[in-house]
Structure 1
Amino acid sequence: MDKLIPDEVYQKLTTKPLPFGYVEHEGITLYEEGDDVVKALKTFKVRDDDSWIVTYPKAGTTWVQEIMSCVMHDGNLEEVNKRHTASPMPFIEFNLPKTIRQLNRLPLTYQVVELIQSPRVIKSHLPGQLLPPNIWDKSKVVYVIRNPKDVMVSYFYFLKRVSPTGRSGQTFSEYFDEMMSGKILYGPWWDHYLFFWKLRHHPNVLLLRFEDLKRDLRGNVERVSKFLGKDLPAETLDAITDHCTFANMKKNPMANPDSILAPPEQAADTAPREGSFMGKGRHPHRLKQAADTAPQEGSFMRKGKVGDWKSHFTVAQNEAMDALIRDKCYGTGLTFDQ
């Protein structure tokens, strides 16, 4: 797995935003080649010991993947910190830009996932209806719901960071209208959420709430552990909980995505390290330097707050969002903290 991307290619890829294209599949906006991936997933061989992390973007993916990594390693944090947590947990639908991938003769990510040894942990932002059809009967699926108002704010800053063009000058007001329309990458949050909300009692689905993770991290670490079939002792659960606090993850270069998506001035001065899923990783010292110096507003792990939307929404925007939530979630039982 370490040589999927040659060193010289990896070095170029980490120095600037990547020129992604987009396609539409069944009305859902996906990254380019996403339609090909979704078609392939219809026959993707799901394994009985697969675990999936599925989320709408910016709902808590990084947080839950770290918890799952710790649990899968039976709380061996030294082993967890040997490589970046994202390395062995690929986004199955996410590929390098087509021109770069083809130029360097690189496979699609789902093709790489097929080669990973069991047990696999696979991530996805895909809506439930686009996932492999037999996933529900064979795999464990962890889904995370977050207040869509906070998702909206976090997604705004995320897109400004990763988009090479067209986003740097976008105002929150302009972006708000885009999100309200649902015409955004991976589609509207309400369809995404409600698909999994209806499956919340399925024995192979664990539905977590971002806000519950903030309120009771220890209790939810134990829930994840039991769901994945791990009976970990109390002291191990305590250690995982401490490791997975937002503050500790943010400063941990092996958990914070900022350390592998550093600004150009750090990326160009980064030494390769063995163990990355898509090529060479980064030297731990450089990883820490990148995590420490990444800009706050563009960081993957920006604030991790509940209710940060209150610092961004106008009264009118809040009223519009409340009306949308009532309209889309009425009668479903799905509600959000105010």
Structure 2
Amino acid sequence: MAIQSNIAEASHAQEETTPECKEILSSLPKEKGWRTPNLYLFQGFWCQPKEIQAIISVQNHYKAEDSDIIVATIPKSGTTWLKALCFAIVNREKFDCQKNHPLLTSNPHELVQFLEYKLYANNQIPDLSTLPAPRLLATHMPLRALPDSVRESDSKLVYLCRNPFDTFVSIWHYLCKIRPESLGPLSLEEAFDMYCKGVIGYGPYWDHMLGYWHQSFENPHKVLFLKYEEMKEDTTFYMKKLSEFLGFPFSSEEEKFGVIEEIAKLCSFEHLKELEVNKKGKGAIAHFENKNLFRKGEVGDWVNHFNPFMVERLTNIMEEKLAASECSIDSERGGNCVGDGNGGGGGGGGGGGGRSGSGSGGGCGCGAVAVCGKYGSRG
């Protein structure tokens, strides 16, 4: 049934769009898609036909409130994990991690819903005023595509960046699982070529990441920029940082009694993956099985997929794209962050790196060519 649904979605994607969207599609550049026949270049980023329709609806109708919290990512960069953490942190006084917690019976995507995939999909205009504050929402949209109300309000954006190598591998595996049979297989080599050209949902990767990166410096009270590799290495530290940014800091009593560790365990990839709802449930994202959202969740799995040519090509692309920014990659020290002493370089490596020091000897701990900042994580 799932395969039949996928085929139907692929073959009728454009027919299901509104006349307004069809007219827009006819004028847009397009390339071969990963899960649908085509991806379209809309407002400077690539997306599927139905996503364009939903994005227009979000831009026209979503009005951000000052208390809104929006989880922002490019696909397959730790979205499920970050949603779980945000939900658990904000709602920790309401639910017991071991008894009645919604994360034990619901997928994180059901609890923190996407604006464009869920709430405003299929021509819906939801009444979000019924949601209790703070409203926890999510998006894959680039920063520049978000409605003006997001930028003008005191709403908060939490962005999670994953190194481009592991992100690619995760995207490829995921989309191969849900790709319609009618489109035929998508080889690793073909997918990598598309990725390097920027043709990926909501990409190019580098544009998406840099938009939020720059804004996190210009308005640090608005955007918190987190790195997957750092969070995996020191989850407790970054949970505290996240809780403070969201306005729900952990008290000394909570720290003393292990509340942070309880939430970290509840939201861990390993725990979420083994829950019944995530092993046998479906529908958290469209009509797909929830188990497709969980593969390895590891740092550095790219080494099992990349050959030297692929490493060199993507490294060169990232260095070129980030050259004009204060965000950089270090291709010579196995993914270590480059810092200048103003806040540290990486996620807690040795030699003066981590959250303090120069960062030149520290690292993201990703074992990959990692995206990192000249000024580290500002921890």
TM-score in terms of structure 2 length: 0.68
- The alpha-carbon deviation at position 145 of structure 1 amounts to 0.6
- Structure of greater relative contact order (alpha carbons < 8 Å, 6+ residues apart): 1
- The alpha-carbon deviation at position 331 of structure 1 amounts to 3.5
Question: Aligned runs of 1:14-29 on 2, under 5 Å?
Answer: 16-17=5-6, 19-20=9-10, 21=13, 23-29=40-46
CA distance in 2 between counterparts of 1:305 and 1:82 reads 24
Paired amino acid for 2:136: V
Q: Does 1:229 align with 2:247?
A: yes
Contact 1:59–1:145 (Cα < 8 Å) also in 2 = yes
Distance 1:33 1:246, change over 3 A: closer
Q: Does 1:79 align with 2:97?
A: no
Contact 2:113–2:138 (Cα < 8 Å) also in 1 = yes
Structure-1 residue corresponding to 2:296: 303
3-state SS of 1:198 partner? helix
Contact 2:46–2:203 (Cα < 8 Å) also in 1 = yes
- The alpha-carbon deviation at position 54 of structure 1 amounts to 0.4
3-state SS of 1:46 partner? coil
CA distance in 2 between counterparts of 1:167 and 1:247 reads 32
Structure-2 residue corresponding to 1:261: 282
Distance 1:29 1:115, change over 3 A: farther
Structure-1 residue corresponding to 2:54: 37
Q: 1:92 aligns with which of 115, 135, 139?
A: 115
Structure-2 residue corresponding to 1:172: 188
Structure-2 residue corresponding to 1:212: 230
Deviation sequence 1:202-225 (CA, Å, 0-9, x none)? 211111100011100111111111
Paired amino acid for 2:55: V
CA distance in 2 between counterparts of 1:112 and 1:30 reads 25
Distance 1:277 1:149, change over 3 A: closer
Distance 1:114 1:171, change over 3 A: farther
Structure-1 residue corresponding to 2:172: 156
Distance 1:259 1:91, change over 3 A: farther
Pairwise CA RMSD: 2.9
CA distance in 2 between counterparts of 1:154 and 1:111 reads 31
Q: Does 1:190 align with 2:213?
A: no
CA distance in 2 between counterparts of 1:65 and 1:149 reads 22
Distance 1:325 1:23, change over 3 A: closer
Deviation sequence 1:27-65 (CA, Å, 0-9, x none)? 422233433333333342111111100000111100100
- The alpha-carbon deviation at position 128 of structure 1 amounts to 1.0
Contact 1:84–1:253 (Cα < 8 Å) also in 2 = no
Contact 2:46–2:204 (Cα < 8 Å) also in 1 = no
Deviation sequence 1:173-220 (CA, Å, 0-9, x none)? 111001011122212101000001101232111111000111001111
- The alpha-carbon deviation at position 73 of structure 1 amounts to 1.2
With 163-172 and 120-129 compared, the bigger mean Cα shift is at 163-172
Deviation sequence 1:270-317 (CA, Å, 0-9, x none)? xxxxxx8999xxxxxxxxxx87xx5xxxx3221111111111011111
Distance 1:149 1:132, change over 3 A: same
Contact 1:59–1:210 (Cα < 8 Å) also in 2 = yes
Structure-1 residue corresponding to 2:68: 50
3-state SS of 1:56 partner? coil
Contact 1:54–1:125 (Cα < 8 Å) also in 2 = yes
| Structure 1: 5+ residue stretches without partners | 1-11, 102-106, 263-275, 280-289
Q: 1:334 aligns with which of 327, 332, 336?
A: 327
- The alpha-carbon deviation at position 90 of structure 1 amounts to 1.4
Contact 1:156–1:172 (Cα < 8 Å) also in 2 = yes
Contact 2:322–2:328 (Cα < 8 Å) also in 1 = yes
- The alpha-carbon deviation at position 91 of structure 1 amounts to 1.2
Number of matched residues?
288
CA distance in 1 between counterparts of 2:3 and 2:136 reads 24
Q: Does 1:121 align with 2:143?
A: no
CA distance in 1 between counterparts of 2:199 and 2:209 reads 16
| Structure 2: 5+ residue stretches without partners | 14-38, 330-334, 336-368, 370-379
Deviation sequence 1:223-257 (CA, Å, 0-9, x none)? 11111111322121121112222211221245x4x
Q: Does 1:312 align with 2:335?
A: no
CA distance in 1 between counterparts of 2:285 and 2:43 reads 30
Structure-1 residue corresponding to 2:161: 145
Structure-1 residue corresponding to 2:272: 249
Q: 1:132 aligns with which of 133, 141, 147?
A: 147
3-state SS of 1:118 partner? coil
3-state SS of 1:206 partner? strand
**Structure 1 consecutive aligned stretches of length 4 or more whose deviation exceeds 4 Å:** 12-16, 112-115, 276-279
- The alpha-carbon deviation at position 112 of structure 1 amounts to 5.5
Structure-2 residue corresponding to 1:6: none
CA distance in 2 between counterparts of 1:112 and 1:183 reads 33
